Structure 1
Amino acid sequence: MKVAIVVGHTKDAPGAYSPYFKEFEYHWNTDLANRIAAQPSSHEIKIFYRDNVGISGAYEKLSSWGAAVSIELHFNSSHNSTSTGTGVLYLSGNHKGKILAGVLQARLMQTLGLPDWPKGSGGVVTPFQASGKQERGKTSLSAGKPPAALVEPFFGSNPNDCKRATAQKDQLAQAYILAMSDYA
């Protein structure tokens, strides 16, 4: 199965900054994407970036490549340093996207041991359920042809979430591969 890994954000607009990593989402997830691609797998993994092509350009490229699924990497952030949790967004009405989000959520929660986010949601949510706004992640989730998931495995603004993510970064990379096998 061809799996597209999309690094969220761009070099020029790198997303949320984690004071604990001392890195932006883009940089932390570029490393994670490379670790995912380096994992032993029966799947064909290719990394896509939004730099210079935007969201639509990246998803156009992965659709042309023939990706069976796409996973966009992010991490959450909040002004409240106690905000915590793992959540995966999918596009409302996309049954395969919801299944993809579900297997990712299960593997990521198993690896990081964080609660579901938003609290009480089961962690598998649409953009509207995640924030009360349709915009959060909707553009990415609807830009390509294959089922898509946008992953927020932890909060970069929470010191304990960051400690877990750092200590288990290789296991986190492996969790993505295991989730793809579960999905397939």
Structure 2
Amino acid sequence: MASGAGSPTRGQDLHRHASAADAYFKARVRSLTYSRFGVRREHVERTGAWEVRGVPAELRDAFSLRAALVDEKAGADASRTEKQAASMATKRDKADVDATTMRDSWRERAEAVVGDVDAMVAAAAPGPPGPDGGAGVGGPGGGPRIPPPADLAAAVFDPKTGLTASEKTFTRAQLLAAVANALEVRHRPGPGQP
């Protein structure tokens, strides 16, 4: 039987590349938020996530109530399966509120932690890079850089967190996902570059 549009082979290919597509999408969001708003990210070792520079960890923690509740119920050292079970057990229905009410509530919570929310937002999103923006190569922090291959390889193959930390082999899809996850922004080739 030939591989058609609905064949198991295509479904398996899609599933196999899901993590690479997810990582590419997140890298693209990081790239777009930098190019449009000047938002820079930093990789946080504790969570493995790319967090927005200029947003204090205390504020992120204050808004991570759900994660704290799951850790409290399952234990900080619980397995992923145990945390998922605790998450489902403590899940509650979402309140039906409008966006303005939610925004006002979030702002009040943020002001209680950082005080001047407008200053924090201005620091976290200084504007697009370039001569009229605040985050260009000559601006704060010099703008994101594509890491040299040796640094990228060190992140992708880190003995504790990299591709081979728990497995001896990896797929091309896993490698693509690891590379995308290691980049602050996705590389966009210039004119005449591949």
**Greater fraction of residues in helix:** 2
Normalized per residue, which structure has more strand?
Answer: 1
- Report TM bin, short chain: under 0.3
Q: TM-score, length-normalised on structure 2?
A: 0.23
- Larger Cα-atom Rg: 2
Instruction: Give the TM-score normalised by the residue count of structure 1.
Output: 0.24
